[in-house]
Amino acid sequence: MFVFILRRLVVTIPVWFAVVTLVFLMRPLVPGDPVKIMFFGRSSSPEAIANLRHQLGIDKPLINQYYDYVTGVLKGDLGESVTTRRPVTSEIADRYPATLKLALGSLLVSTVVGLTAGVLAAVYKDSMIDTVAMVISLAGLSMPAFWFGLVVIYFFAVRLEWFDVLPDGSLKSLVMPAVTLGLIASSVIARLVRSAMLEVLGQDFIRTARAKGLRERRVLVRHALGNALIPIVTILGLQFGTLLSGAFIIEAVFAWHGIGELGVRAFSKRDFPLIQGIVLVVATTYLLVNLAVDVLYALIDPRISLK
């Protein structure tokens, strides 16, 4: 097990450095002068442009800029926000817990709804339950997140007045954005769970378990769902990364003060250091989640750790 985890960690490190490199290249590969882009629409003197260029290190050769950026990232220094003049790490640290809370809440909703719908659709294949579950999941895949968020706000906050329109950071204010994001994500999970369960339910060991007289609930939960966990865990890990990126839209719709809302503001202000920091943090979180998924593989199926 330890060797398997170490091997996966060794593979993850160069991938992370590749992500750092791509994030760094966001600025020099932008068409035009990034400093002038930041000042677009605002009056600026040549001295101000030169000072910002020196502050960002753009006046140095590209290889020196890359070295400074990588060493800064390794030290936890992601630069300084151009608009707030605060360290990027501080800006992200203030907002990251809110986004993580939203992503975890959405993952909980999507897992419960997706697993339930997928298992029921597989067990009652070609029935009305299966048809309704798959039609709803297809609608969820086709539905724009921002539109669904506005519909949720209109019905549950404006019409029914069950929730406040503006969040106050409480658990109650988490319900609407988490349910909105989670229900959309559950569509993918439901369809995958259905496919995985149908494949397992057709195996000989399931027929043997039923022939032995085991309760159907035990057969479904322990034998069928247990053997279908590998693809399910994979999609849950991928969905967590999707939920983090999808939170950018949902946070803007629900005025949720996370890194998604911060990212929208950074894009509107053309704050390149802050944009780079947010992208790097989200990508790093995604890599860590996938590393955790690999470890879960070994826990679910010990044979994997021997490969």
- pLDDT tens sequence across 257-271: 888 888 888 887 777
Q: Rounded to 10 degrees, what is the CA torsion of 35, 38, 39, 40?
A: 120
DSSP string, 121-151: HHHTTTSHHHHHHHHHHHHHHHS-HHHHHHH
Stretches where the chain sits below pLDDT 50 are none
Helices (H), 57-87: 62-74
Which residues are 87's β-sheet partners? Answer: 80
The confidence score (pLDDT) of residue 18 equals 92
pTM: 0.79
- Residue 195 has a pLDDT of 86
Predicted pLDDT at 256: 82
For the record, the structure tokens of 294 come out as 């690999």
DSSP letter, residue 224: I
CA gap 40, 179 in Å, rounded: 38
In the CATH scheme, what is the homologous superfamily, with its name and number, of domain 95-306?
MetI-like (1.10.3720.10)
Which tokens hold the place of 242?
């999707």
Integer Cα distance of 232 and 112 in angstroms: 12
State the pLDDT at residue 21: 92
Q: What is the pLDDT of residue 240?
A: 80
Q: How far apart are CA 187 and CA 42, in angstroms?
A: 44
- Which regions of the chain carry the CATH code 1.10.3720.10? 95-306
Inter-axis angle of helices 88-123 and 171-201, to 10 degrees? 40
The per-residue pLDDT for 225 is 75
Residue 119: its pLDDT value, please? 87
